[in-house]
Amino acid sequence: MTHTRAQLVALLDAHGLTPSRALGQNFVVDANTVRRIARLAEVGPGDEVLEIGAGLGSLTLALVETGARVSAMEVDRYLLAPLAAVVEPHGVVVHHADALHADYGPILRGPTVVVANLPYNVATPLVLHLLETQPLITRMLVMVQREVGERFAAGAGDEAYGAVSLRVQYFADATVVGKVGPNVFVPKPKVDSALVKIVRRETVRVDPALVAEDELFTVIRTAFGQRRKMLRRSLHDWVSEGVFERADVAETRRPEELTLEEFARLAAAK
């Protein structure tokens, strides 16, 4: 039921459309890939699914095949008519909205799984925005540029580890569950993509009674502002007397070596 490459190109031509570089549009045109994404999303009958950035509906149709109840969000007004023509006959509700600024109240009808093919420039702010503001979104399966996906899922000591990794960890558990090459897209990007599964935790990873969220992430952002330097240098303007001793964190360590819990001890010990 999903689009072939020829069908998607014909659909673009029929509506006088070309993929928008400004919006980072790369449409998936491989049936095996979209069905793989739907399978990794682990959705089926009874599940609420919101696809963000539905484009022309290739992935939407694969999600419909699972039996889940699917809604689709698209910001590009030029795609709305062809998208609706493709997916509305299958019971999909199409929402014209910018995912970073949308009112999710009328869209989320209960616990929801987000599935999305996200462009580079919006992937990180959008994933963090949804984790921070939309507790009804319990899981995500996102396709993002490989380096972004590795950043989401990185742990202490990994090359990709940083403040974004820790922000995701605060709310959720993230795992890279697959890779996607550039040949399945129109137009063909210059980079590989990663499929990342993000599962919201029932409670945030650091108890706010131990340290407030804003205090914790002030320390994290300050430390990673100079990520290659030892903590005694990167946190020089933040530390108070004896903070490293109270937190039981060596001042000679570097930010990329610390777990979220160790940063929490630092923040609580100030």
pLDDT tens, residue by residue, 176-192: 999 999 999 888 888 99
Helix or strand (DSSP H, E) at 248:
none
Residues in the chain: 270
Mean pLDDT for 71-77 is: 96
Mean pLDDT for 83-102 is: 97
Q: Where are the alpha helices (DSSP H) in 88-172?
A: 120-133, 146-153, 163-171
Q: How far is CA 259 from CA 45, 172, 220, 231, 266, in A?
A: 38, 14, 10, 13, 11
User: CA 65, CA 55: separation in Å to the nearest integer?
Assistant: 17
For residue 247, give the nearest of 208, 209, 221, 210 by alpha carbon: 210
Q: How far is CA 45 from CA 48, 59, 63, 243, in A?
A: 9, 17, 11, 52
Helix or strand (DSSP H, E) at 262:
helix 260-269
User: CA 177, CA 191: separation in Å to the nearest integer?
Assistant: 17
pLDDT digits (tens, 9 = 90+) for 162-178: 999 999 999 999 999 99
Amino acid at 185: F
**Cβ(111)–Cβ(48) below 8 Å:** yes
**Cβ(72)–Cβ(54) below 8 Å:** yes
Domain assignments of the chain as residue spans, ordered by start: 5-200, 213-269
pLDDT for 2 beyond 80: no
Indicate the average pLDDT of the chain: 94
Instruction: Locate 6 and state its tokens.
Output: 């020829």
CATH number belonging to domain 213-269: 1.10.8.100
pLDDT at 266: 96
Match 């509506």 to its residue by tokens. Answer: 15
Among the residue ranges 25-29, 36-40, 158-162, 170-174, the one predicted with the least confidence is 25-29
Among the residue ranges 15-24, 122-131, 161-170, the one predicted with the least confidence is 15-24
pLDDT for 1 beyond 70: no
Instruction: Locate 234 and state its tokens.
Output: 């990167």
What is the value of pTM for the model shown? 0.93
Count CB atoms within 10 A of the CB of residue 32: 10
Sheet strand arrangement including 69-74:
93-96, 69-74, 48-52, 112-117, 137-145, 193-200, 172-180
pLDDT at 9: 79
Count CB atoms within 10 A of the CB of residue 109: 12
DSSP state for residue 100 in the 8-state scheme: T
Q: At what angle do helices 58-65 and 31-40 cross, to 10 degrees?
A: 50
Count CB atoms within 10 A of the CB of residue 242: 10
Q: How confident is the model at residue 29 (pLDDT cuts 50, 70, 90)?
A: confident
Class of domain 5-200 as given by CATH: alpha beta
List residues bridging with 254 in a β-sheet: none
Among the residue ranges 6-10, 66-70, 82-86, 125-129, the one predicted with the least confidence is 6-10
